[in-house]
Amino acid sequence: MTMDLRAKPGTATDRTYAPSGRRPARETTIGEWIDRLSQRGGDPGGGAAAGVMLASAAALVAMVASYAEESGVERRARALAQAALDRADADAAAFGAALRAGDDRARDEAALAAARSSAALAALARDAIGDLERIARRVEPTLLADVVSAAAALRAALSCARANLRSDLGALSRHGGSGALRRTHPDLSTAASACDDVIARLDDLTRRIDTRASGAD
């Protein structure tokens, strides 16, 4: 399945988060976006890549849900795919600002914005697992590989968001201390560890699907 990140005619495009002079991710072909990702500059970077991974996972869930006639899951997955692309743009803007910050205060503010962006992306990814588990129970065997692919993309998105969040928080802790960070931003301090449980659920889901696909259950 090929995913086109360009906007479809008649859809709204949120330009709010696109880095200056850059088109939003959903208006960009995959080839163009990958070329931008390969360039030095950090906007887009690993966090934005996590957004595109999440969009890929959501698109796969929507496709499988359409075959399974799970209209509610399909609708939510399509909305998630678009939200994930918006988060990719938001992360590119936040991380680019962090790299360009000229003094300690500006760097701290930019790092905090980047951490919040990573946490928001992680929250989107965590919310997706329920629908993924639902369709995994209902699909035909011919679609199990697509469910596993969606789980793998979702796991990658979560792992990347968690890594970027911990990196951003580490930068903030070096300046203000980890204790102060936990007091002032408790939501960010717990967001990374919250990803661990979801990743474990995804690993368990993949194992169960592998067992089912092999006919061993």
pLDDT tens readout for residues 26-45: 777 889 888 988 887 667 88
pLDDT tens readout for residues 60-75: 999 999 999 999 999 9
Which amino acid appears at position 146 of this protein? D
Q: Which of 12-21, 86-95, 191-200 has the highest mean pLDDT?
A: 191-200
How far apart CA 14 and CA 115 sit, in angstroms, is 21
CA separation, residue 121 to residues 33, 85, 90, 101 (Å): 19, 10, 10, 22
Residue 97 placed within a domain: yes
> Which has more confidence, 215 or 6?
215
How far apart CA 74 and CA 58 sit, in angstroms, is 9
Residue 144 placed within a domain: yes
pLDDT tens readout for residues 74-125: 999 999 999 999 888 887 776 665 555 556 676 777 778 888 888 888 899 8
* Per-residue pLDDT, 15: 37
Nearest to 195 by CA among 123, 130, 91: 123
* Per-residue pLDDT, 183: 64
* Per-residue pLDDT, 11: 35
How far apart CA 123 and CA 126 sit, in angstroms, is 5
Residue 23 placed within a domain: no
19 cis-preceded (ω within 30 degrees of 0): no
Residue 31 placed within a domain: no
Residue 50 placed within a domain: yes
How far apart CA 7 and CA 26 sit, in angstroms, is 5
* Structural domain count, the chain: 1
pLDDT tens readout for residues 159-179: 998 998 888 887 777 655 445
- The pair of structure tokens assigned to 112 is 């905090």
- Give the count of beta carbons closer than 10 Å to the beta carbon of residue 12: 7
Residue 37 placed within a domain: no
How far apart CA 56 and CA 2 sit, in angstroms, is 9
How far apart CA 45 and CA 92 sit, in angstroms, is 6
- φ, ψ of residue 17 to 5 degrees: the values are -100, -5
Which range marks the domain in which residue 47 is found?
43-214
For residue 66, what is the domain's CATH number?
1.20.120.680
Residue 16 placed within a domain: no
What whole-number percentage of the chain has pLDDT above 70? Answer: 76
Residue 21 placed within a domain: no
